[in-house]
């Protein structure tokens, strides 16, 4: 997932990203939670990197990530996995059939992320990707 800033003008969406090609186009109607001038995480369409296949609010993702970081920290690969999981949870909540379903899904996601935060290696070292995967198994 990459980070950028979404802009919506007359129903046309674009994301200013730090990596080329930029801007990245998206369909605002497919992602109704996204508003103009908002920080987002997005995933590019593999066959056309100028289009985003998934766009989620960065605030929602960061809220889940904050609940998930253990005191000792995460390795780089474990953090990348946590970012992907948080984006996945938020994307799934975006398409929930009702606001009650959305809240329930995000509550479940936060509990899952807190399971990672509760992990401890015992030696004070950072948690790796295997420990994070195990928390979601």
Question: Per residue in 10-56, pLDDT tens?
Answer: 888 999 988 888 899 999 888 888 889 999 999 999 888 899 988 99
| Residue 132 near residue 81 (C-beta atoms within 8 A) | yes
| Residue ranges of domains in the chain | 2-56, 59-136
pLDDT band at residue 100, thresholds of 50, 70 and 90?
Answer: very high
The mean pLDDT value of the chain amounts to 88
Of 100, 96, 95, 109, nearest to 64 (Cα)?
A: 109
* Overall average pLDDT of the 95-122 stretch: 86
0.85 surpassed by pTM:
no
């Amino acid at each position: 997932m990459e980070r950028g800033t979404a802009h919506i003008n007359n129903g046309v969406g674009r994301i200013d990203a730090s990596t080329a090609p930029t801007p990245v186009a998206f369909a605002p109607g497919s992602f109704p939670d996204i508003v103009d001038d908002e920080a987002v995480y997005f995933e590019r369409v593999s066959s056309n990197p100028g289009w985003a296949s998934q766009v989620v609010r960065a605030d929602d993702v960061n809220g889940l990530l904050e609940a998930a970081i253990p005191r000792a920290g995460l390795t780089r690969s474990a953090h990348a996995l946590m970012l992907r999981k948080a984006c996945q949870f938020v994307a799934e909540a975006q398409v929930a059939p009702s606001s009650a379903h959305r809240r329930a899904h995000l509550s479940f996601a936060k509990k899952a992320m807190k399971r990672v935060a509760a992990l401890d290696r015992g030696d004070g070292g950072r948690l790796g990707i295997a420990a994070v995967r195990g928390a979601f198994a």
